[in-house]
Chain A
Amino acid sequence: MKELKLPLTNEDISSLTLGEFVYLSGTIYSARDNTHQRIIEILEREGNLLSLGFSLSSIYYMGPTPARAGVVCGSAGPTTSSRMDKFTPLLLEKGLKVMIGKGKRSEEVKNSIRANHAIYFSTIGGAGAYLADRIKKMECVAFSELGPEAIYRLEVEKFPVVVSYK
């Protein structure tokens, strides 16, 4: 099984084929509905995302359960990606490269993925405990008031995904 380090390069993306099962390791950021709304508001106001202080190049559509003491993170499976479709083309134009979630994407998003040489992976919906085991570090880095919808920086190791659109 192929294992890739994040962030992915254009060469990494070109080397993958649709339907291929791969492991990802490195840094990803969680973001879902409310977070996307906030990010777009920042983009509209400031024209870029520099004020976030980190680069949103890899997004995981996920909102975890709270972590018990002594555990890195709670349950952490993917949420339905299509709810983020209306925000995605703009983020792709601003440098988003990798998305991980579950389910289909709109035609507009698929076209934008191709145009921006990005990639969309699906992972296993409902396998939140199994996927949490692949998250080795987790830290809230923005919008903490949104609770499960905050942005968390996640260090993942051998995170299983399937290439869905590129």
Chain B
Amino acid sequence: MRHINSDTIIEVVSKRVSEINFKIDDNILSCFKTAKVDSPEKDFLNILIENSDIANKKQIALCQDTGIVIVFAKVGVEVKLDKSLEESINIAVKKGYLENYLRKSVVVDPINRVNTEDNTPAIVHVELVDGDGFELQIMSKGGGSENASALWMLDPADGEQGIVDKVVARIKEKGMNCCPPLILGIGIGGDMEKSAMLAKKALFRKIGERSSVQRYSLLEQRILEEVNSLGIGVGGFGGKLTAMDVFIEIAPCHIASMPVALNVGCHSSRHCVVKL
């Protein structure tokens, strides 16, 4: 068995969960810099580049919505922890958010809306895998983009066209609200919650990284083109760059079902991967 100390997990996670809020991902920054768009859309992209510079230099968060923390963990069956993973992550989130002046954006009860004051609990999904590896995919997810997300239990006969129609209509309706240029994660198949998890996990892919299945690689490109022809543009002020990329993840599903989930990521897309 390989022992991983909870203090190590807490230290690394609290550091990383903060860092991602002060500097935009290099992959996204390079997408901003190389985008082929005209003024004034280009000017808005330059503001986003400047935003990242100011955030980094002055240690002011990229966005005031520093999100709720979501973690997808892959833990080897040969790993021994001295504390529940969820508890370690929550201690780390509390430490990271309190020490780094990040906003506390979590309420205890969805109806009474009282703030938990420390941005916990995080949402933690654990997958047990072979071996002694330990990997955490971590995301700070803002409310604006999450609120534009959606899930549809389509009929198998709806096919590709049904998926395109739903996703494009949703972005047409909500895209302006959720800080474009967007990253769209789409989960197809599984069941209701599986498709939603696939959609969110898809947001960890790198801009330009196509699905390994040709059909879905083509579908990603088709949806990207259709979304970018909506004219929403950077910041919602009109233009060509409504989405930076579309990522599709799939899973086998029931003969009667075709669940489709859309998870919308904003241009800050704060995420990282921790391996111990």
Chain B contact surface mostly? loop
A71 at the interface (CB under 8 A from B): yes
> How far apart sit A80 and B63, CA to CA, in the bound complex (Å)?
13
A143 at the interface (CB under 8 A from B): no
Closest to A76 in B: B64
> How far apart sit A126 and B62, CA to CA, in the bound complex (Å)?
7
B54 at the interface (CB under 8 A from A): yes
Chain A residues 13-51 with CB under 8 Å of chain B are 19, 21, 34
> A148 contacts which chain B residues (CB < 8 A)?
64, 103-105
A97 at the interface (CB under 8 A from B): no
Chain B 156-198 interface mask (CB, 8 Å, partner A; 1/0): 0000000000000000000011110000000000000000000
Chain A nearest CB from B13 CB (Å) reads: 19
Chain A nearest CB from B18 CB (Å) reads: 11
Chain A nearest CB from B53 CB (Å) reads: 8
Residues of B in contact with A, size category: 35 or more
> How far apart sit A73 and B143, CA to CA, in the bound complex (Å)?
21
B221 at the interface (CB under 8 A from A): no
Q: Could you tell me if A71 and B40 are in contact, using CB atoms closer than 8 angstroms?
A: no
Contacting A130 at CB < 8 Å: which of B47, B105, B179, B268? Answer: B47
Closest to B180 in A: A125
> A82 contacts which chain B residues (CB < 8 A)?
177
Which of A4-12, A59-67, A109-117 has 4 or more CB atoms under 8 Å from chain B?
Answer: A59-67
Q: Could you tell me if A80 and B178 are in contact, using CB atoms closer than 8 angstroms?
A: yes
A142 at the interface (CB under 8 A from B): no
Chain A nearest CB from B93 CB (Å) reads: 15
Given contacts A104-B176, A104-B177, A122-B236, contact A128 B47 (CB under 8 A): no
Q: Could you tell me if A129 and B54 are in contact, using CB atoms closer than 8 angstroms?
A: yes
Given contacts A65-B101, A147-B115, A148-B103, contact A133 B54 (CB under 8 A): yes
Contacting A124 at CB < 8 Å: which of B48, B66, B144, B178? Answer: B48
Contacting A126 at CB < 8 Å: which of B48, B50, B60, B104? Answer: B48
Closest to B98 in A: A66
B239 at the interface (CB under 8 A from A): no
Q: Could you tell me if A127 and B61 are in contact, using CB atoms closer than 8 angstroms?
A: no
B59 at the interface (CB under 8 A from A): yes
Given contacts A65-B101, A79-B65, A148-B105, contact A127 B60 (CB under 8 A): no
> How far apart sit A148 and B225, CA to CA, in the bound complex (Å)?
38
Q: Could you tell me if B102 and A65 are in contact, using CB atoms closer than 8 angstroms?
A: yes
- List residues of chain B with CB under 8 Å of any chain A CB: 40, 44, 47-48, 50-52, 54-55, 58-66, 101-105, 113, 115, 117, 143-144, 147, 176-179, 235-238, 266-268
A-B contact pairs, 8 of them (CB 8 A): A75-B61, A79-B65, A103-B236, A122-B235, A125-B178, A126-B179, A128-B55, A128-B65
- List residues of chain A with CB under 8 Å of any chain B CB: 19, 21, 34, 62-68, 71, 74-77, 79-80, 82, 102-104, 122, 124-130, 132-133, 146-148, 160, 162
